[in-house]
Amino acid sequence: MNQDQLKQLVGRAAVDYVTSGEVVGVGTGSTVDCFIDALAAAIAEGRLTVAGAVSSSERSTQRLQKHGIRVLDAAEVTGLTVYIDGADEIDGQGHMVKGGGAALTREKIVADLADRFVCIADASKLVQTLGKFPLPVEIIPMAAAQLTRRFATLGGTATLRAGVVTDNGGHILDVTGLSITDPAAFEAEVNQWPGVVTVGVFARNKAQVCLLGGADGVQTLTF
């Protein structure tokens, strides 16, 4: 199977983690697009119902609404049973790098509402150590130069993602050259740097389940 087919495979598998009648948390990205389509098909076929969705991006909101799924504001819910999203990298403990789609801040907000994070990804995203994928960091624009210098002290090279403005009005630095051996400590440290809105390491809000698509089908990893 090619990568698009793997995304469709894990997108369909993730529907089984949605509790009928409840509100579901929905992430962002091409793999999540496949989940949204599979969720809509399950609803149309009468296999489940949802009370609505809390979305982490305008992109996902538009796709959900196109399928007739009601989108709620995060402030309208006090909790979610499940949040389903992709990852740019995931390690063997469920820690992730996210933000390739520039929605990392809202993704963390929605993930923090959920009892369970279900990550959907293809097998190429599973790594031993985070850092091969450029680390996205949402920042306040005026802090770009000083944050670039801060990452340089860690051995990282930060590059401003050209032409990208997040749904929150922030900018994105992509940082290469890092080896993130202690994701929780790294996330806690970088999140305190002035000018950082959110770092794209998901350790505090790590995955509890990963549905990993590969040549042999969907492998379920639990953490």
Tell me the catalytic residues: 107
Give phi and psi for 44, each to the nearest 5.
-60, -35
86 is in an annotated binding site: yes
Backbone angles phi, psi at 177, to 5 degrees: 85, 10
Sorted by sequence, the CB contacts under 8 Å of residue 32 that are 6+ apart come out as 11, 26, 60, 84, 85, 86, 120
Distance CA 214, CA 2 (A): 9
Is 125 annotated for ligand binding? yes
Has 100 been labeled as part of a binding site? yes
Sheet holding 196-199, edge to edge: 157-160, 171-176, 135-139, 196-199
List all residues 6 or more positions away from 208 whose beta carbon is below 8 Å from its beta carbon: 94, 116, 117, 118, 222, 223
- Is 101 annotated to bind a ligand? Reply is yes
What's the full length of the chain, in residues?
223
- The reply to whether 98 sits in an annotated binding site is yes
157 marked as binding residue: no
- The answer to whether 29 is a known ligand-binding residue is yes
Q: Is 85 annotated as a binding residue?
A: yes
Q: Would you list which residues are annotated within the binding site for substrate?
A: 28-31, 85-88, 98-101, 125
